[in-house]
Amino acid sequence: MDNLARNLAQRVNVGDLLTRSAARSPNKTALIDGARRFSFQQFNTWSNRLANGLSSLGYKPGDSLALMSDNCAEFLVTYFACAKLGAVCVPINLFWRDKEIAYVLEHASVKGAIVGHNRLDQFLSGTQSSAAVCDVFVIGDEFEAQRLPSQFLVRTFEALCSDQSEQEPAHLIDDRAPLSYLYTSGTTSAPKGVVGNHLAVYLNSLGTAIDTRMSDRDCVAAFMPMFHTAQLNAICTPAIAVGASICIMKGFETAALLDAIERESLSVLFALPMMYRSLVEEQQARPRGIASLRLAVYAMAVMPEPELRAALDTLGCDFSLMFGQTEMSPVATFFRPEHQLSHPGAVGTPAVNVQVSIMDDEGRLLPQGQMGEIVYRSPQTLTGYLDNEKATEEAFRFGWFHSGDIGHFDADGILWFHDRNKDVIKSGGENISSLEIEKALYEIEPNITEVAVIGLPHERWTEAVTAVVVTRPGANLDEADLLARLRNVISPFKCPKAIVFVNQLPKTATGKIQKAELRKEFKKFFDNSGSTPER
């Protein structure tokens, strides 16, 4: 038996999700990108042409291709072309600096890159030190080709696809062949290349479709960055798998998004909590017809209960938090609509493909109620970290994937997230969850809009619990008053030793608060702290 023939007939491949949706509903709208609309058939044949174009230039299964672009149809076309060719897609974070871009291009042995015309300067300044990249394909024709260094083969994305066959590429690709190298935005060490494979992303697509009840009746919004696994794999690939439409936007703009919900009858949103806050205000001020909305997914942070209630009232749809990480392809748990108000602040119950447990440092699984590291078993786990078997072995010790997150299961079997492993505050011999204190601060004071609780070096406490707070404009909060009120709701030993008011918190491209940055900034806050009076 011909191995390729058997592989094509039996394999699991993310590209096949698109092939099948195109066969099932060829004329249905797959992608809305500004004034451009593409049916599933157009999307699929475009991906085929790109894959065949790359193939004609010598790209083979296993080769890696960088992708640096704002959200656009071509982004998804490239992702699916890579899947069909067996090439590895390496999305470049648009917030990276030269050094990070250079590191990733080198580390991932990137051979060519597909780059948005408006990102070309940024890309080129990152490639200085990378000898490997030889081909640059530019999305859009608004660039000056002569400006490009001569070592590159440069052509437009359009030229790469044109005159190519629309036939399905036929390459032998294993179920667990690499699909992408996604670099984690490591706040402390060098970024690690998360090797995502076809099976993992495929299963996440089906599982997420089940858990969000996504169907071909949905039209999902895509305004969060596609270079991030959440937008790409937790929203876009499930939508493509079930034949839902995707409305692509370059970023979050409150009024434009509400207009789009009304115009395109969007049914599923994926956004950060702070974005929902702004949608609520805008919708209250200038109401649109948004009855098509059925599910608002959020991520990265829990929504404070009053905000959630306001959002439920004003947007009139279900809310659900997706919790996970790049290494999980990415969804590990869903905080489901039915639990939002009964268990505010939790991160939910396991996704259909994921087993979740709590583990202590010696590899023992802990019973319900006890706090420990959140660990996973799932075919959605990464293959491993690229060229880093040590980190991979460490991550899979004791037969579970170690998330690096700390949490516990409550009596209802619902998971609560406490902190990143390294961010647990060890103060006065106690382990303190920053999340608990953050939640308490939100509850006692509605004028607090954002808060990060961190541990800072302290002579007496080892780490001193410290709250860094952003308030509503005009609000004038008093540190001593806040602390006094806080002591009524949490144990005194958990109470911050100080509250610092700032204008904004440092964040990653995807809105995650960078506690490591805060810890660096305020490192010396408690210097001479031997003399700080105990509160």
Binding residues (CB under 8 A) for a second copy: these are 1-2, 4-6, 8-12, 16, 19-20, 23-26, 170, 175, 199, 203, 206-207, 209-210, 213, 215, 241-242, 349-350, 352-356, 376-379, 381, 389, 392-393, 396-401, 413
Which is nearer to a second copy, 141 or 412 (by Cβ)? Answer: 412
Which is nearer to a second copy, 71 or 353 (by Cβ)? Answer: 353
Compute φ and ψ for 500, nearest 5 degrees. -110, 130
Which is nearer to a second copy, 46 or 400 (by Cβ)? Answer: 400
Beta strand 153-156 with 135-139 is parallel
Least Å distance, CB 94 to a second copy, is 31
Opening angle at CA 385, ends 384 and 386, nearest 5: 110
Q: Is residue 456 within 8 Å of residue 444, measured between CB atoms?
A: no
Which is nearer to a second copy, 355 or 370 (by Cβ)? Answer: 355
Least Å distance, CB 335 to a second copy, is 13
Least Å distance, CB 461 to a second copy, is 37
Angstrom distance (rounded) from CA 326 to CA 386: 14
Angstrom distance (rounded) from CA 118 to CA 139: 9
Angstrom distance (rounded) from CA 336 to CA 415: 11
Tokens for 352? 């259909």
Which is nearer to a second copy, 92 or 195 (by Cβ)? Answer: 195
Strand segments, DSSP code E, in 347-481 are 349-350, 355-359, 372-377, 384-385, 401-409, 415-420, 425-427, 430-432, 448-458, 462-471
Q: Is residue 198 within 8 Å of residue 32, measured between CB atoms?
A: no
Angstrom distance (rounded) from CA 146 to CA 26: 40
Least Å distance, CB 525 to a second copy, is 40
Least Å distance, CB 317 to a second copy, is 18
Contacts of residues 339-342 at CB distance under 8 Å and 24 or more positions apart, as own/partner, are 339/414, 340/308, 340/312, 341/305, 341/308, 341/309, 341/312
Which is nearer to a second copy, 112 or 243 (by Cβ)? Answer: 243
Least Å distance, CB 330 to a second copy, is 15
Which is nearer to a second copy, 132 or 170 (by Cβ)? Answer: 170
Which is nearer to a second copy, 24 or 524 (by Cβ)? Answer: 24
Angstrom distance (rounded) from CA 454 to CA 80: 41
Which is nearer to a second copy, 242 or 315 (by Cβ)? Answer: 242
Beta strand 193-197 with 384-385 is antiparallel
Least Å distance, CB 91 to a second copy, is 23
Least Å distance, CB 56 to a second copy, is 22
Which is nearer to a second copy, 236 or 242 (by Cβ)? Answer: 242
Least Å distance, CB 343 to a second copy, is 14
Least Å distance, CB 379 to a second copy, is 5
Q: Is residue 69 within 8 Å of residue 222, measured between CB atoms?
A: no
Which is nearer to a second copy, 171 or 497 (by Cβ)? Answer: 171
Which is nearer to a second copy, 121 or 412 (by Cβ)? Answer: 412
Looking at 265-414, list the stretches that DSSP marks H as alpha helix, in order from N- to C-terminal side: 273-285, 305-315, 389-395
Least Å distance, CB 319 to a second copy, is 18
DSSP helix/strand/coil, 367: coil
CA distances from 216 to 86, 159, 243, 258, 485 (A): 27, 32, 5, 22, 50
Angstrom distance (rounded) from CA 144 to CA 141: 8
- What's the chain's length in residues? 535
Least Å distance, CB 211 to a second copy, is 9
Q: Is residue 148 within 8 Å of residue 136, measured between CB atoms?
A: yes
Beta strand 372-377 with 135-139 is unpaired
